[in-house]
Structure 1
Amino acid sequence: MEAAGRWRRGAALSAALLALSALALLLLPPPPGSALPPGLLEELRQRRRDLRRLAAGGAAAEGGLRCGDVRRAAGTAPVLGSGFTKVVVRAALAGGGAVALKSVHGAGREVRQCEQRYGEPAGCRRLAAYKLLKEVTLLRRLRHPGIVQLHGQCYDSGGEPEAGVTAVLELGAPLEMIQLLQTPWEERFKICLGLVELLFYLAHSPLGSIVLLDFQPRQFVMVDGNLKVTDMDDASTEELSCEEDNDCTLDFPTKSFPLQCSSAGKCEGINEKRNLFNAYRYFFTYLLPHSAPPALQPFLSDILNATGNLRYGINETLRAFEKVLHLYKSGLYLQKRPLLLKEAYKCWPSYSHLGCLLSVHSPEEAAAICSSQPQCQSFIITQQRTWTGRPLASFQSSPTDLIPDTTAVAYIKRSASLGRRL
């Protein structure tokens, strides 16, 4: 970490000047006598206006790299993925940790389709570069734990300037929904809560209400167990203009929602509601209900129904998630339940693939779990804790399997012949 900080601080001034040079150059109109087709010129003007508006009032670039460092790192870097506009590679910088380098994808669909329309490779790469600079600008102005961190940016002024923009980002792992479905409910709830906190921030951001127009699981990564959005080039701070309420229908493949046209001529709350429904259909539906504690299921069902029908806004949704978190962390959700769980218990999902390792609020809850499963004969309350502070309990099928350490507490089920339980 210290080494990474050194290269960021050491190159800060140089990188800031390079980034500002890049922004200034790309914000300028094409040189006089430019022979670019009128359609391409208009697209460039539109993206230039969008970028200028986002950059207005923003702070100068902080941190960064020298372009030579980036080029050397990118030369042999493995490709992590490529999309419509950009390509992302993994790189290890000298004296620092692994990062993700994002640059314009010269062979991507956006550049190729632009070249087919206008036949101007350089102009088309410049057009694509605006999207990457827009993303860099947004990442520089928006700071939240749910947004991937921008370590710096580089602008190489040699050769074709449009091809030299590179963003240096925090490295994350691709989001694997199938893998997430196999994790314990507590971890899935954490991901959904983090997403709600992110959407709350986007709804009240310094730039106004922001919508993620390309809201897909592939736009997110996992960093140290936390969900982060990593692709911001399709984010928008503009709410849809309207003249009447009929102009404000929010359409999805399976549902449509009528919204109101405000006196200012904008579809009121459309950005916030679009983000929230996408969170419901891509994340909440799959990650929230399965294997949740039974006493919490009514609260989760209400969240699903309210967000699926857009009855809740983001403020109400965040409050509902915080209520569930409080009930879970405090153990209050157990107060209306008998001590011994009556429903059938399946030791899945577990924090360990080699045994039955579950989070519990207290030894009483662990006793209820063990008593509800005939094969459980003992359990250990370990010193390991989850992100909510709940301890992990290891359930065993035989008392002879107990090998606790000096900091663990072991519990053994009394013989059923004595008519007594844990």
Structure 2
Amino acid sequence: MTFSNTPFGLFIVLALVFLTLTVVLKKWHFGLREEEAFGDDAPERNRLLQQLQERYQELDKLYVTSSDEFISPHVSINDSIDYINGEIGADNTVTINETDIGCEELAGMKAVDFLGSGYTKTVLKVALPQGLFVALKSVNHQGTDMRMCMDDFKDSQRCLEFVSFKLRKEIALLQRLQHPNIVQLKGQCQDSALVGGITAVLEQGTPLQMIQLLQSPWEERFRVCLGLVRLLQYLSQSPLGSVALLDFQPRQFVMVSGELKLTDLDDASIKETACREDSDCGLQFPLRNFTLRCSPSRICKGLNEMRNLYNAYRYFFTYLLPHQAPSQLKPLIHHIMNSTRDLKQSINETLIAFEEVLHMYQSGLHLENLPPSITRDYTVLKGMRSVGNMEYRCWPSYKQQGCLLSVHSAKEAALICSSNPQCTSFSLSNDRTWTGRLLASFRSGFSHLVPDINSAVYMRKVKALGAVP
């Protein structure tokens, strides 16, 4: 009696035949779908599949195991969606951090405002049922990238997968790169019925407006530049290695409670350029070119860092840092400008220079030459607040219709008031800026005073009678 003639053997043979037919039918069905999408244009089909494979191989490198080592799950195109959702089997398990806001929390969301859209993504401001406002970033189904893919390949499913890669990459980077100057990922959802595909839930900020920033006080402009330098220092030695922001533009940033935050990371690169000689390590900008050394390991080490730093100089420092800087700090500011313009210092050295400026500014060391007697020209009324103020405008001011400036002490405020013929008095309260400096309100007169334990009024003695009718 042969094996196949036994009941058990017959069962095994039938099972193998069934499995074989199942695989053949699946391949036949998959081939029909591809023929429907591409017809006889096999090269176009293969080109799209190849591009998808390359993108998911790039995405693989951003996900790590609990031991913090890079993994290579070898995910096929057909399994790519399951891979991103963390549904690959035990041998290739991908650990993705749990997030607070998911599809369930987004079910009751309400769109509040349209924040913008680009070639790939759309951003909405939404209100969640619990009252939290967040930014919702999703694939732009009507965007340029989607239209171009459909024109080339005419496959809506794979084009959506292809276009959504940038958003998937951004989510992966936000999970790995966490810094006070990077926008916070608050959650994610992948539900085509609810949000039309994969969606990132981000803390809500306001788009960076350079014109508005140019009109703000120097202290706020310095804060933006300092935050940017701290960010670039982190990116130069991040958990993923040195990160280059290939699309370095002000539009890639938002403001959150006065802090600059990077919000678009889809064009970030974690690769250091390979080289054979120094000429391979070139940086080309519209007005300047630089060449770095090719390291013994055949890597343009530091190229990402220097690219980021020079872009920070030409897009931010040039416009925000020198103008209206305190005169005593200008030598330090000029040193920063010159060193970044010529890339003479590393990002670590640049951050040290920024921190020195901050220390000088916060501590008031740049004002140590002020005469102690400067406040003697003022009558101090502590525990009082002026009412019926006659205010004048100064620039740049924290208050659009008045003159509200940051000062280290009453001495600095007295110096400012004494140098302006319009100023007859100023007041100090407990309000402080992000550096801990006081906010002083300057005015040309007032009608009367009222008690306020948190305020003090300083009146110039030479004009005291004219200031208080």
Same fold per superposition (TM over 0.5): yes
Change in Cα spacing, 1:39 to 1:394, as seen in structure 2 (3 Å) is: same
Q: Does 1:53 align with 2:53?
A: no
2:312 counterpart SS class: helix
- Structure 2 CA distance for aligned equivalents of residues 158 and 357 of structure 1: 51
1:333 is the counterpart of 2:366: yes
> Aligned to 1:380, which of 408, 427, 433?
427
Write the distance in 1 (CA, Å) between the matches of 2:460 and 2:193: 74
> Aligned residues, how many?
382
Q: Which residue number in structure 1 is paired with residue 351 of structure 2? A: 318
**1:64–1:154: 8 Å Cα contact kept in structure 2?**
no
Tell me, yes or no, if the aligned pair for 1:150 and 1:168 is still in contact at 8 Å. yes
Relative distance call for 1:275 and 1:189 in structure 2 (3 A) is same
Instruction: Return 5+ residue gaps in structure 2 as ranges.
Output: 1-28, 35-43, 69-94, 376-392, 465-469
Partner-residue secondary structure (3-state), 2:96: coil
Give the match's secondary structure for 1:353: coil
Does the 8 A contact of 1:51 with 1:134 survive in 2?
yes
Counterpart in 1 of 2:50?
A: 42
Contact 1:377/1:399 (8 A) holds in 2: no
CA distance in 2, matches of 1:153, 1:53: 20
The structural deviation recorded for 1:354 is 2.3
Distance (Å, rounded) in 1 between the aligned partners of 2:450 and 2:401? 15
What is the rounded CA distance, in whole Å, between the counterparts of 2:370 and 2:145 in structure 1? 57
Within the alignment, does 1:130 sit opposite 2:177 as a pair?
A: no
- Between the aligned partners of 1:71 and 1:305, the Cα distance in structure 2 is 52
Shift in Å, 1:393: 1.2
Correspondent of 1:235 among 254, 268, 274 = 268
Provide the C-alpha distance between the structure 2 equivalents of 1:416 and 1:156, rounded to a whole number of angstroms: 69
Deviation at 1:37, TM superposition (A): 1.2
**Contact 1:135-1:231 at 8 Å conserved across structures:** yes
User: For residue 161 of structure 2, what is the amino acid of its counterpart?
Assistant: R
Task: Answer whether contact 2:424 2:463 (CA < 8 A) is retained.
Answer: no
Alignment partner of 1:89 out of 118, 121, 124: 124
Q: How does 1:221-232 map to 2 (within 5 A)?
A: 221-232=254-265
SS of match in other structure, 1:90: strand
Task: Decide whether the 8 Å contact of 2:102 with 2:187 is kept in 1.
Answer: no
The 1:142/1:290 distance shift into structure 2, 3 A limit, reads: same
AA aligned to 2:103 is: C
Deviations 1:109-153 (A, max 9, x none): 112222222232221111111211111011011111101111111
C-alpha distance in structure 2 between counterparts of 1:337 and 1:363, whole Å? 11
Distance 1:385 1:197 in 2: 23
Supply the distance in 2 between the matched residues of 1:264 and 1:392 (Cα, whole angstroms): 53
Structure 1's unaligned 5+ residue stretches are 1-30, 418-422
Are the structure 2 counterparts of residues 372 and 299 from structure 1 closer, same or farther at C-alpha, using a change threshold of 3 Å? same
Q: Indicate if the aligned counterparts of 2:332 and 2:357 stay in contact, CA closer than 8 A.
A: yes
Q: Distance in 1 between matches of 2:458 and 2:347?
A: 43
Change (3 A) 1:46 1:402: farther
Does the 8 A contact of 2:108 with 2:129 survive in 1?
Answer: no
CA distance in 2, matches of 1:416, 1:356: 19
- CA-to-aligned-CA distance 1:306-338 (integer Å, 9 cap, x gap): 111111211011000000000001110112466
Aligned to 1:360: 407
- 1:67 to partner: Cα distance: 2.5
Question: What is the CA–CA distance in structure 1 between the aligned matches of 2:449 and 2:319, rounded to whole Å?
Answer: 36
For each residue in 1:183-240, what CA deviation from the matched residue of structure 2 results, as whole angstroms up to 9, or x when unmatched? 1111111111111111111111111111111111111111111111111111110011
* Bigger-Rg structure (1/2): 2
With 278-287 and 52-61 compared, the bigger mean Cα shift is at 52-61
SS at match of 1:209: coil
Residues 404, 410 of structure 1: 8 Å contact kept: no
1:394 aligns with 2:441: yes
Moved more, 63-72 or 195-204: 63-72
Match of 2:98 among 62, 65, 68: 62
Q: Cα 1:357–1:110, aligned 2, differ >3 Å: closer, same or farther?
A: same
Normalized against structure 1, the TM-score is what?
Answer: 0.85
- Whole-angstrom distance in 1 between the partners of 2:248 and 2:200: 21
AA aligned opposite 1:42: Q
- Provide the residue aligned with 1:200 in structure 2: 233
- Over the aligned positions, Cα root-mean-square deviation in angstroms equals 2.6
Partner of 1:142: 177
Alignment-mate amino acid for residue 357 of structure 2: V
Structure 1 residues 177-196: aligned runs within 5 Å: 177-196=210-229
Identical aligned residues as a percent: 53
Counterparts of 1:214 and 1:117, CA distance in 2 = 25
Q: Which residue of 2 aligns with 1:414?
A: 461
Partner SS, residue 148 of structure 2: helix
Contact 1:211–1:272 (8 Å) recurs in 2: yes
Which residue number in structure 1 is paired with residue 87 of structure 2?
A: none
**Residue type of the alignment partner of 1:45:** Q
| Aligned-residue offset at 1:68 | 5.0
Whole-Å separation in 1 of the counterparts to 2:436 and 2:113: 38
Counterpart CA distance in 2 for 1:371 and 1:222 is 35
Contact kept? 1:295, 1:337, Cα under 8 Å: no
Contact 1:399/1:412, CA 8 A, preserved across alignment: no
Aligned-pair CA distance for 1:301: 1.1
Contact 2:362–2:437 under 8 Å retained in 1: yes
The DSSP-based 3-state class of the residue aligned with 2:135 is: strand
Equivalent residue number for residue 73 of structure 1: 109
Give the CA deviation at 1:405: 2.6
Say whether residues 1:165 and 2:198 are aligned partners.
Answer: yes
* CA deviation after TM superposition for structure 1 residue 62, in Å: 1.9
Question: Of the two structures, which has the highest relative contact order with CA contacts closer than 8 Å and spacing of 6 or more?
Answer: 1
